Structure 1
Amino acid sequence: MTKPQTHENRGISARLLDQPYLLLILAPLFWGGNVVAAKLVVGEIDPFLLLAARCVGATLFILPFAWPYLKADWPVIRRTWPQLMAFGFVGYALFNVLLYLGLSTTSGVNAAIVQASLPMLILLANFVVFRARAKVLQIVGVIIAISGVMLTATHGNLGRILTLDINVGDGFVILACLAYTAYTLALRFRPDVHMMSFMAVAFSGAAISGVIMLQLFGDGVGQFATIPSMSATVWIVLIYVMIFPSMFSQVAYARAVDLVGPNRAAPSHNLIPVFGAIGSVLILGERLELYHYLAAAIIIGGIVLAEWAARRRR
Structure 2
Amino acid sequence: MIALLNSQPVLLLTLTALLWAGNTIAGRLAVGEVSPFAVVLLRWVIVAGLLVVIYGRQVVAEWATLKRHLILIVLSATFGFTAFNSLFYLAAHSTTALNLGIIQGSMPMFVLLGALIFYRTPITPLQMAGVLITIFGVVYISSRGELSRLAELEINPGDGLMIVACFFYSAYAVTLRNRPKVPGIVFFTVLAVVAAVTSVPAVLVEASNGSLQWPTAMGWAVVAYIALGPSFISQIFFMRAIELIGPGRAGVFINLVPIFSSIMAVLLLSEPFRAYHAVALALVLAGIWLSERKSSEKAKQG
Name the TM-score class by shorter chain. over 0.9
Note the C-alpha offset of 1:197: 1.6
Q: Distance in 2 between matches of 1:309 and 1:196?
A: 30
Match for residue 249 of structure 2? 264
After TM superposition, give the deviation of residue 214 of structure 1 in Å.
Answer: 0.7
Counterpart residue number, 1:299: 284
Q: Share of identical aligned residues, percent?
A: 35
Q: Is the 8 A contact 1:214 1:221 kept in 2?
A: no
> Structure 1 residue 149 and structure 2 residue 138: aligned?
yes
8 Å CA contact retained: 2:35, 2:213: no
Partner amino acid, structure 1, of 2:226 = V
Q: Deviations over 1:15-72 (max 9, x none)?
A: 3221111111111111111111111121221101111111111111221111231122
Q: Supply the AA of the counterpart residue of 2:80.
A: G
> Cα gap change, 1:106/1:63 in structure 2, threshold over 3 Å: closer, same or farther?
same
2:130, 2:290 within 8 Å by CA — same for their partners in 1?
yes
Which of 126, 129, 137 aligns to 2:118? It is 129
1:27 aligns with 2:16: yes
TM-score by length of 2: 0.93
CA apart distance, 1:102: 0.6
Which one has a bigger Cα radius of gyration?
1
Q: Which residue is 1:237 aligned to?
A: 222
Unaligned runs of 5+ in 2: none
How far apart are 1:220 and its partner, in Å? 5.2
Deviations 1:267-298 (A, max 9, x none): 11111111211221111111101100111112
Pick aligned residue for 2:265 from 272, 277, 280: 280
Aligned partners of 2:132 and 2:287 also within 8 Å: yes
Matches of 2:136 and 2:57, distance apart in 1: 46
Whole-Å separation in 2 of the counterparts to 1:80 and 1:37: 33
| Superposition RMSD in Å | 2.0
Range with greater deviation from structure 2 (116-125 or 167-176): 116-125
Which is further off, 284-293 or 78-87?
A: 78-87
- Structure 1 residues not aligned, in runs of 5+: 1-11
How far residue 226 of structure 1 moved from its aligned partner, in angstroms, is 4.2
Give the secondary-structure state (helix, strand or coil) at the position aligned to 1:193.
coil
Could you say if the C-alpha distance between residues 221 and 243 of structure 1 is closer, same or farther in structure 2, counting changes exceeding 3 Å?
farther
Amino acid at match of 1:181: S
Tell me if the contact between 1:41 and 1:234 (Cα under 8 Å) persists in the aligned partners.
Answer: yes
TM superposition shift of 1:168: 0.4
Question: 1:114 corresponds to which letter in structure 2?
Answer: I
8 Å CA contact 2:44–2:193 kept in 1: the answer is yes
Report the number of matched residues: 299
Distance 1:135 1:237, change over 3 A: same
Distance 1:165 1:225, change over 3 A: closer
- Is the alpha carbon distance of 1:220 and 1:59 closer, same or farther for their aligned partners in structure 2, counting shifts above 3 Å? farther
Alignment of 1:89-238 (within 5 A): 89-216=78-205, 218-219=206-207, 226-227=214-215, 230-231=216-217, 233-238=218-223
Residue number in structure 2 paired with 1:81:
70
